[in-house]
Amino acid sequence: MKVLVIGNGGRESAIAWALSKSPKVEKIYVMPGNAGTGISWENVDISPSDQEAVCAFAKEKGIDLAVIGPEDPLVAGLADQLSGAGIKVFGPNQKAAQFEGSKAFTKDFLMRHHIPTARYREYTDLDSLKEGLGEFGFPVVLKADGLAAGKGVLICQNEEEAVRGAEKIMGERAFGDAGNLVVVEEFLTGREASILCFLDGKRIVPMESAQDYKRAHDNDQGTNTGGMGSYSPNILFDDEALVERIEKEILTPTIEGFVEDGIDFRGVLFIGLMIENGEPKVLEFNVRFGDPETQSVLSRLETDLSDIMLACVEGKLDEQPIQWSKSPAVTVVMASGGYPDAYEKGKVIEGLDAVEDAVVFHAGTRLEDGKVLTDGGRVLAVTATGESLEEAREKAYRELAKISFEDGFSRSDIAKFDS
C-alpha cells in the first residue's frame, strides 16, 4: 500500500514512522516533509495548501491512504478534496474540522450537548466585547475564534488587561480574521490533560493517555510553546473514577452529538481538558494528533497503524482491535535558542548517528549538502521507551545528550516528578 503523509513536523515524522512498521505499507511519501522524513522515506515538494496539486499527485501515484497531520489543511477542506478525487483520507472533512477552526462552534456544540465546559459568551464587535469582559469575573480568558497558531488565547488577570486584550484581538486585529469573533470564557483552575481519540464517524476510541509540557523552560517557566516534551501514560489517568467520568460525561455525549448533528468525523479528535477535584471540563477540541504527544503515544502502539486508520476511514473501528505496549514513553524536544520568540536557523546538527536507544523524530530540519541543518523552532524530538517511566526518561535524556547544535536547548524536567 502507498501512503501519503501531509505535513512537516515531529507529529508527521511520528505518523510516518509508525506507518513504516506495517508490513502492508510499501511506500511512504511525506509532503512537504523535513530532513528526517526525506532520509527515511520520500519527500514531496508540494504545499498542502495547493489542494489541486496535492490531489493530482495522489491520483498520479495511486495513493491508497492519505493522512493529513496539521490543522490548517483540514480546516481548509483538503480532506474533502482528496476524497472527492477518490482517495481514502484519514482526517476529518471541513465541516468536522470546524471544531478546531472555530472556538465558538465548539462551545456551542458542547453547550447544546450538555458536555461540561467553562461558561462563555461570544462577541463580534469591540464595544459589546468590552462591556462583557467582567461577566465571569477575573481572571478571564479571551479567545480569538479562528486559527491563530496557538497564540490566540489570552488569559487576562484584571479588567485593564482584558480591555487591552480585547483591543489587541478585535481592534488591532493581531490575529487577522481569526479575531472577527471573540469568545469570552470563565477562567478554570485545575490540572490540564489531553486525550487523543480515534473516530470512525460513529465510534470514538481513546488512545493511551499522555501529558505534554507547553512552557519553554523547566518548572513550567517561560513562554507557551508548541510543546517541549511529553510522556505516556499520564499519571493523572491512574485515577479510574476520573477515566470513567471522562468516558461518560465527555466521550459518549461527544460522539452522540456528532451523529445527531450530522458531523461525520473520521480521524483523530484531541480533547483538551481541565480537571479539578476529579471533575473534567473540556477546554477545546483539536481535529488532529497533538505534537509532541503523538511521538510518545504512537511509540507505544503495537497494532498496525495503517489498519487502524483504514478502519476509521471505512467506519469499521468496532472490528479493529487496538493494542498498546505497557512500557511508558518519554519524548524530549530540542529547540532552537530563543524559541518560541526569534531564533536563528541553519545550524549544523551533530551526533544524530550516535543515537542507539531512542527514536529521533525530525521537525524543523532540512538537508543541505548531506548535512542536517536546523530549520525551525522545534528541531527534533527524542523518544525512548522503558520498563518504567524513570527508565524511559533516563534513556531519552542519555540519547539526547549525544545530539547537539549551536544554541539548542531542551527542558530537563520532562516526566520528572517531585519525590
Ligand X SMILES: Nc1ncnc2c1ncn2[C@@H]1O[C@H](COP(=O)(O)OP(=O)(O)O)[C@@H](O)[C@H]1O
Residues that bind ligand X (CB under 6 A): 118, 141, 150, 152-153, 155, 185-188, 192, 272, 283-284
What, of ligand X, Mg ion, none, does residue 118 touch, CB below 5 to 8 Å by kind?
A: ligand X
- Residue of minimal Cβ distance to Mg ion: 272
What, of ligand X, Mg ion, none, does residue 62 touch, CB below 5 to 8 Å by kind?
A: none
In the complex, the residues that contact Mg ion under the rule CB under 5 A are: 272
Q: Which is nearer to Mg ion, 253 or 272 (CB)?
A: 272
Question: 56: how many CB neighbours lie within 10 A of its CB?
Answer: 13
- Beta-bridge partners for 238: none
Provide the minimum distance between the beta carbon of 100 and ligand X in the complex, in angstroms, as a whole number: 8
| Cell numbers that stand for 317 in this block | 473501528
Strand (E) positions, 233-336?
A: 266-276, 279-286, 329-335
DSSP state of 347: P
What, of Mg ion, ligand X, none, does residue 188 touch, CB below 5 to 8 Å by kind?
A: ligand X
Encode 271-299: b = buried (16+ Cβ within 10 Å), e = exposed: bebbbeeeebbbbbbbbbbbbbbbbbbbb
What, of Mg ion, ligand X, none, does residue 243 touch, CB below 5 to 8 Å by kind?
A: none
Q: Give the position of cell 506507518.
A: 19
Provide the minimum distance between the beta carbon of 105 and ligand X in the complex, in angstroms, as a whole number: 13
Q: Which is nearer to Mg ion, 288 or 300 (CB)?
A: 288
Separation CA 174–CA 252 (nearest Å): 37
Q: Note whether 111 and 93 are within 8 A (CB).
A: no
Provide the minimum distance between the beta carbon of 212 and Mg ion in the complex, in angstroms, as a whole number: 9
Q: Which is nearer to ligand X, 155 or 236 (CB)?
A: 155
Q: Which is nearer to Mg ion, 212 or 399 (CB)?
A: 212
What, of ligand X, Mg ion, none, does residue 48 touch, CB below 5 to 8 Å by kind?
A: none
Separation CA 136–CA 46 (nearest Å): 46
What, of ligand X, Mg ion, none, does residue 192 touch, CB below 5 to 8 Å by kind?
A: ligand X
Provide the minimum distance between the beta carbon of 228 and ligand X in the complex, in angstroms, as a whole number: 14
Provide the minimum distance between the beta carbon of 192 and Mg ion in the complex, in angstroms, as a whole number: 9
Three-class DSSP category at 27: strand
Q: Which is nearer to ligand X, 150 or 338 (CB)?
A: 150
Q: Which is nearer to ligand X, 155 or 205 (CB)?
A: 155
Provide the minimum distance between the beta carbon of 320 and Mg ion in the complex, in angstroms, as a whole number: 28
Q: Which is nearer to Mg ion, 193 or 380 (CB)?
A: 193
Q: What are phi and psi of 90, to 5 degrees?
A: -95, 115
What is the CA 296 to chain-centroid distance, rounded?
12
Q: Which is nearer to Mg ion, 190 or 272 (CB)?
A: 272
What, of Mg ion, ligand X, none, does residue 185 touch, CB below 5 to 8 Å by kind?
A: ligand X
Provide the minimum distance between the beta carbon of 297 and Mg ion in the complex, in angstroms, as a whole number: 16
- Beta-bridge partners for 230: 212, 331
Among the listed residues 125, 118, 127, 128, the one whose alpha carbon sits nearest the alpha carbon of residue 153? 118
What, of ligand X, Mg ion, none, does residue 87 touch, CB below 5 to 8 Å by kind?
A: none
| Cell numbers that stand for 234 in this block | 499520564
State the amino acid at position 215 in one-letter form: R
DSSP state of 318: G
- Bridge-based pairing state of the strands 27-32 and 42-43: parallel
